[in-house]
């Protein structure tokens, strides 16, 4: 039996009072008010309401080891990334790895693998696969329904997957950036319960008013906290916090705790903030995560005070898993699973001949997943091959199918700022082919080949020196610790900026340039794609 004496933050009843919490066999036996004076505060732990663990480049156990020191004890995790590489076997891998530690991972069944028919993924998750997964206790929901056009047009496969979720009485996550009006109402009425893609206050408000729950996302690339946080004042029961994608260097610094601090600093009511951070994900997804009620699992955190809100201790099922920045979660070497089978690339593979120099250019918006379409001019070399226009910061970008050898897809991109060299990554949502951006073709081949040799990773070359962070697990994750991966990642980002990159998070931004389901202009291994018309488009602009 354990006894915890602390000031209890009773979120549902909006009270704070000294309490004695008795824990027995990993559950809360009783919570009794006390007349004593205590220095610490006790409250339910934080839950990340939507995250792709793979985007941390850590296997689940390594993610958990670092998350608990920030007071996160559970996640709602979409294994969509590894499913695009390995199918349902990738989902099983994540579940089994997560079970090796006490952290409460709650996985979803990926709804859109492949994300679209306009790209090459390593696997497919069928309706039958969804049914098999949804029958499992470990699968809590149907993960983000990115194919919102499929919902709007009543695509049979899309609707069948939603029907499976309804059969098992499990919620369906949404993904419909910018969608409002009648189309949004139609999307919601199909049974879609959440959206983490809202990027304006007006969009978030519309979806809340029509019955959706809005997840305020603040990740390594997409940062929507400032735009959406005021919604929490009026909709405390329908807001959750999430990271979506969290790179290892950011995870070293903090997690959901940082959003809690920022919301409190804005003067938002403490109980509303904690409702979003601790309670709403548990009730919406029906998670086996304790909320400090009698007979609940003893899942909770202790903080120092209501001003600093520093995490002192984290408990899961009554066991202390972190204290004062030290994690007690143990990890062990993990097996390698992957799907990577292509030959090395040559500079000539990136050559492209055009009749016109005016082209559609992917315009990157720093800190956002959406892009714009810029009409710009590229240059032609002596042989008539299109090359980067460095003066206007229009660089060449390419996507290489990593599952089998096929011609490279080439286009142009703006706002990376490279002056020389190249960046490449096998973390490229959603199909995770290799994506590379460069000032010249030779550097493109060097950066891409470094990844091919490692069967996955992130790389930077300045043309002479090439550095890489290997990601052998599905080409998405390392088996190293967060500290090791974070250090290597930080070194790569520093190197990228030394060769001119101006983006805050170069690799995170790069990884979304092949994400066709988020407009406006993207590139898959099959060609340039208009995300608004949802069709391929011409690279050249004819006068």
* Cβ atoms of 466 and 495 closer than 8 Å: no
Q: Which helix (H) or strand (E) holds 500?
A: none
Cα(94)–Cα(342) distance, integer angstroms: 25
Q: Go through the domains of the chain in sequence order and give each one's CATH number.
A: 46-287 (3.20.20.140), 347-536 (no CATH)
Token readout for 499 is 């060769």
Residue 157 CA from chain centroid, whole number: 25
> 386: which DSSP letter?
E
Q: What is the pLDDT of residues 169-222, one digit of tens each?
A: 999 999 998 999 999 999 999 999 999 999 999 999 999 999 999 999 998 878
On average, the pLDDT of the chain sits at 95
Q: What is the pLDDT of residues 208-221, one digit of tens each?
A: 999 999 999 998 87
Facing residues of 174 across strands?
Answer: 145, 195
Share of the chain above pLDDT 90, in %: 90
Q: What is the pLDDT of residues 223-262, one digit of tens each?
A: 899 999 999 999 999 999 999 999 899 999 999 999 999 9
Strands (E), 115-219: 139-145, 172-174, 192-195, 213-217
Q: What is the pLDDT of residues 421-454, one digit of tens each?
A: 999 999 999 999 999 999 999 999 999 999 999 9
With a cut of 90, say whether residue 1 has pLDDT above it. no
Please identify which residue in the block is written with the tokens 């790179």: 247
Note the helical H segments in 168-221: 181-189, 201-209
With a cut of 90, say whether residue 361 has pLDDT above it. yes
Look at residues 75, 95, 167 and name the one whose alpha carbon lies nearest to residue 138. 95
**Residue 114: cis peptide before it, omega within 30 degrees of 0:** yes
Cα(443)–Cα(459) distance, integer angstroms: 11
With a cut of 80, say whether residue 265 has pLDDT above it. yes
Look at residues 305, 280, 325, 229 and name the one whose alpha carbon lies nearest to residue 46. 280
Cα(489)–Cα(458) distance, integer angstroms: 8
Question: What is the band of 23 on the pLDDT scale with cuts at 50, 70, 90?
Answer: very high
Q: What is the three-class DSSP state of 533? A: coil
Please identify which residue in the block is written with the tokens 């997964």: 133
Q: CB count, 10 Å around CB of 150?
A: 21
Q: Which helix (H) or strand (E) holds 54?
A: none
Q: What is the pLDDT of residues 389-409, one digit of tens each?
A: 999 999 999 999 999 999 999
Look at residues 68, 71, 64 and name the one whose alpha carbon lies nearest to residue 46. 71
Q: What is the pLDDT of residues 484-510, one digit of tens each?
A: 999 999 999 999 999 999 998 899 899
Q: What is the pLDDT of residue 355?
A: 85
Q: What is the dihedral of CA 520, 521, 522, 525, to 10 degrees?
A: 130
Please identify which residue in the block is written with the tokens 């550097």: 443
Please identify which residue in the block is written with the tokens 């240059």: 379
With a cut of 80, say whether residue 333 has pLDDT above it. no
Cα(171)–Cα(211) distance, integer angstroms: 13
Phi/psi of residue 29, each to 5°? Answer: -85, -40
Q: What is the pLDDT of residue 35?
A: 92
Phi/psi of residue 175, each to 5°? Answer: -165, 90
Length of the chain: 543
pTM exceeds 0.75 for this model: yes
């Amino acid at each position: 039996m354990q006894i915890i004496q602390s000031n209890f933050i009773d979120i549902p009843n909006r009270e704070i009072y000294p309490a004695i919490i008795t824990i027995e066999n990993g559950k809360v036996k009783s919570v009794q008010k006390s007349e004593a004076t205590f220095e610490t505060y006790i409250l339910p732990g934080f839950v990340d309401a939507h995250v792709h663990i793979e985007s941390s480049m850590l296997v689940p156990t390594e993610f958990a080891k670092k998350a608990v020191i920030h007071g996160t004890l559970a996640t709602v995790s979409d294994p969509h990334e590894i499913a695009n590489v390995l199918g349902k076997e990738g989902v099983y891998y994540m579940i089994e790895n997560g079970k090796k530690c006490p952290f409460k991972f709650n996985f979803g069944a990926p709804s859109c693998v492949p994300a679209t028919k306009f790209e090459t993924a390593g696997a497919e998750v069928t309706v039958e696969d969804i049914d098999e997964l949804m029958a499992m206790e470990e699968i809590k929901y149907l993960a983000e329904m990115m194919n919102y056009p499929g919902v709007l047009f009543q695509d049979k496969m899309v609707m069948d997957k939603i029907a499976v979720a309804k059969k098992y009485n499990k919620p369906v996550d949404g993904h419909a950036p910018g969608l409002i009006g009648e189309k949004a109402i139609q999307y919601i009425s199909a049974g879609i319960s959440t959206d983490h893609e809202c990027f304006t206050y007006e969009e978030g408000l519309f979806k809340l008013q029509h019955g959706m729950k809005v997840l305020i996302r603040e990740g390594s690339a997409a940062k929507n906290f400032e735009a959406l946080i005021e919604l929490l004042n009026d909709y405390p029961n329908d807001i959750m916090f999430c990271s979506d994608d969290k790179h290892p260097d950011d995870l070293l610094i903090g997690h959901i705790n940082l959003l809690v601090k920022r919301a409190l600093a804005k003067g938002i009511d403490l109980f509303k903030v904690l409702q979003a951070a601790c309670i709403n994900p548990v009730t919406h997804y029906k998670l086996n995560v304790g909320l400090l009620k009698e007979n609940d699992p003893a899942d909770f955190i202790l903080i120092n005070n209501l001003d600093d809100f520093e995490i002192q201790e984290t408990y899961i099922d009554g066991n202390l898993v972190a204290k004062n920045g030290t994690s007690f979660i143990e990890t062990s070497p993990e097996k390698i699973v992957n799907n990577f089978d292509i030959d090395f690339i040559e500079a000539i593979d990136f050559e492209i001949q055009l009749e016109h120099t005016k082209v559609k250019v992917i315009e990157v918006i720093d800190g956002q997943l959406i892009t714009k379409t810029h009409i710009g001019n590229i240059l032609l070399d002596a042989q008539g091959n299109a090359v980067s226009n460095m003066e206007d910061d229009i660089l060449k970008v390419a996507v290489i199918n990593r599952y089998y050898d096929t011609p490279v897809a080439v286009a142009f991109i703006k706002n990376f700022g490279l002056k020389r060299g190249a960046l490449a990554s096998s973390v490229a949502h959603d199909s995770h082919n290799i994506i590379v951006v460069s000032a010249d073709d030779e550097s493109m081949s060097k950066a891409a080949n470094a990844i091919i040799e490692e069967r996955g990773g992130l790389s930077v070359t300045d043309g002479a020196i090439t550095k890489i962070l290997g990601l052998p697990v599905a080409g998405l994750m390392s088996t190293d610790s967060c500290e090791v991966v974070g250090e290597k990642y930080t070194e790569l980002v520093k190197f990228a900026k030394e060769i001119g990159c101006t983006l805050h998070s170069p690799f995170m931004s790069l990884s979304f340039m092949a994400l066709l389901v988020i407009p406006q202009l993207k590139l898959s291994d099959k060609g340039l794609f208009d995300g608004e018309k949802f069709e391929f488009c011409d690279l050249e602009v004819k006068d």
